Every structure is written in structure tokens, then in C-alpha cells.
Amino acid sequence: MKRIDTLDYLRGFALVGIIFINILQMVPHVRIPPEYGFWSHFEQGLLTFVYHAVYGRFYTIFSFLFGVGFYLFISRARARGDQANVLFVRRLLILLVFGFVHHQFQPGEALLMYAILGFLLLPLYRLKPGANLAAGMLFLASGCWIGPIGISLGMFVLGLWAGQSRIFEQVKRHKKRWIIAQAVSLVLIPFGLWAEREIVDATGLVDIAMVAGGLAEDVFYVTTLTILLEFPFMKLWLMPLNRLGRMALTNYIMQTVLILTMDAVLNLSGHAYYLILAMIAAEILVIQAICSTMWLNRFAMGPLEWLWRIGTYGKIPEHYRSKHN
């Protein structure tokens, strides 16, 4: 079946945001001294932007896309007559291995939790879209008590609902609804930021506050990018995001490898300003976009995606052999 290109663009977009948070968490930084004037103010403005527009936003988009991917994987496997549940369990077990190894170098990374929580999606597949929409909202709300686990599971189930509703396969048909969702989310962003501040002040639960405050931004980001991709020239200009997203697993793990390598070589921890770290993150993204483009011009999938497929199917399936699929 034909790939849904929009999902690859969104995965790439999520990776762009994630690296600016990961490098902040993985490499202890120092602030530019106030006597540097402009550069000190510029870094402070950048950090403010990251905390209010990036932190807690892009992992939730990534989680949402995991749920969409689950639905597409199961539905397409069933259409081919495969044992969909068995294949998905294998897929999660391979992801668990990747996540466990990755976790040794970046504690708190997403893959390990995704692999564990992914098993809970299997019984939800048969529910109606409306039931999954309600379940997703309930899981999100449960994040107030059980933290990131409830939030991630909620986004998984909302992604499942989006897959069932085929919203990314019928964008042009429902373009007015997309525009309405975009406009409403834009209006709600200031209220979300206010709620975020209030939750932090009242409870100190930063992760939950960031997600609660960022949901409107997440919807705005996803709807805006999806609407833009309806224009062919935007798909061309934003093609680097597509290439990053086509190799999301490889690029996500390689970001950690590159950050830790540069930290070790350049002795960044405790010495580098965040402005420098942000520049390094941007350079990594440029390198990954170029390398991903070159790789996908020759191969059908990224190297870790290839291993993931082999572990899932025991071979390369016919529908993955052509790089044009």
C-alpha cells in the first residue's frame, strides 16, 4: 500500500523539536554571562522559546504518530492476510531491544516506554473510533496522577483514533475541518500557556504542565504542517523533513550517538552555552537530512528500520523491497 507522506513529514518535524530538548538534557550547559549583552539576551530568549514552544510538545506528537503507525501496521497486515497481532508483538520486542540499549546511553528516552505501552494498544484496535477518542482523552487526563505513562498512552490511543478515522488519508476532502481545528488551536494557545504556568505554580509537576499547556500547540503544529503539505511546492521545500521522518528510528538513535560523541570530543558538559548546543543540534539535523536523502536515494529504508523489518517478518517483505514503495 502507498505510504502516507504526510506522516513522514510529521515524524521529521517531531525529530527537529526533540533534538533541541535532548541536547539540553544530555549536556549540562552554562549561561552566557550578562556582560555579553546581546548574546546573553538572545540565549535567554531562545531558552524561553524552547520551554514554551518545544519542551513537552514534540514527544507528544511522536507518541501520537506511534498510535497512527500502529493502526496502519495492523490494518495493512490484516489486508495482506498476515498474522497481524503476532507481527506487531515481534515489532514491539525488537523496539524493546533498541530502547533498552538506547536507554543505557540516554536514560528517559522514549523507545523503551513505547515498546512496553504498545502492547496495550492491541485490545483497543477493535473499538470504534468514538470509543478510542474518549479513551484517549481519559488516558491523557490520567496523566495528572500517573504522569508521562498516562500522557504517552493517551497520545497513542488518539493516534489510533486518527488512523481509524483516516484523517491523514482524506485531508483534501475535509480541508475545512482541518482549517477550523488549526484556527481553534491557535486561539487556545495562550490559554494553554496560562494553564501550564498555573499547574507548575500549584503542583510543581513540570512534565504534566508542559503537556497540558502544549496540547493546543501540538494541534496547531500538526494541522498547519498538514495543510501546508497540500501545496506541491511546500512538499518540495519541506522534503528534508520527509527524509528525516522516513528514517525516524535511525535518526532518533543517531542523534544520541552524535551528541554524546561531540560532548566527549569537545568537552561540552559544564562548559558550553546553550546557544552553542542549539547550533550543534541544528548542524546535526542538517547532516542527518543530507545523509538520509542520500541513503534513501539508494535504499528503501534506513539501516535500523531494515533491522526492525527483518526482526518483525524474519525476512524483507515484498512490499518493502522497492525504495519507491
Q: What is the pTM of this model?
A: 0.91
Alpha carbons 15 and 9: distance in angstroms, whole number: 10
Smallest Cα–Cα separation from 208: which of 158, 156, 146, 155?
146
Contact 136, 155 (CB under 8 A): yes
Looking at residue 317, its pLDDT comes to: 55
* pLDDT given at position 70: 95
* List of the chain residues with pLDDT < 70: 1-2, 144, 207, 316-325
In 166-247, which residue ranges form alpha helices assigned H by DSSP?
A: 175-203, 206-228, 232-237, 239-246
CA distance 88 to 122: 9
* Whole-angstrom distance, CA of residue 147 vs CA of residue 205: 9
For 173, list phi and psi in degrees, rounded to 5.
Answer: -65, -35
What is the pLDDT, as a whole number, of residue 52? 87
Q: Tell me, what's the pLDDT at 259? A: 96
Place of cell 515524524: 11
What pLDDT shows up at residue 319?
Answer: 47
Residue 250 is placed in which grid cell? 535511525
Q: Which pLDDT belongs to residue 325?
A: 42
Q: Judge whether 10 and 235 are in contact, CB under 8 Å.
A: no
**Quick one: pLDDT at residue 1?**
56
